[in-house]
A = this chain, B = another copy of it.
């Protein structure tokens, strides 16, 4: 994938210990994009959850693969593209648990959807998956925080 202007890209091994590098970058990019402290923390968590799920489900725990995350602030908002080389994910599988049924797990997807307005796989990606996460910017911030 060509690198759009004004985007930052990170590639990490598919191991939990590297997740802190990606979520910190997500937070820094969101802060740079003009999101407030609370939204920055929401984005940090949601990006982390999406990458955790790649390790768990797309790679089945295999630590020898890679995850690439592309961050970008645009006029529309903050975008993170999360790429893996695992088998094609059926979007219908991305289902959190019923929040009234208390059991371990099933929260990650809720955290992702709570924060991001768009959560969708890029159908054009041939091998592996590219999950697109987009959080719209508040109208009032548009002029101040976009572009270079």
Q: Which of B9, B18, B25 contacts A24 (CB 8 A)?
A: B25
Residues of B within 8 A of A64 (CB): 5
Q: Which of B21, B28, B66 contacts A29 (CB 8 A)?
A: B21
Q: Which of B7, B21, B63 contacts A8 (CB 8 A)?
A: B21
| B8 touching A11, Cβ below 8 Å | yes
Please, how many residues of chain A have a CB less than 8 angstroms from a CB on the other chain? 24
**Cβ of A61 < 8 Å from any Cβ of B?**
no
| B66 touching A3, Cβ below 8 Å | yes
Q: Which of B10, B11, B13, B148 contacts A15 (CB 8 A)?
A: B148
Residues of B within 8 A of A122 (CB): none
Within 8 A of B (CB), among A14-68: 15, 17-18, 20-21, 24-25, 28-29, 32, 63-64, 66
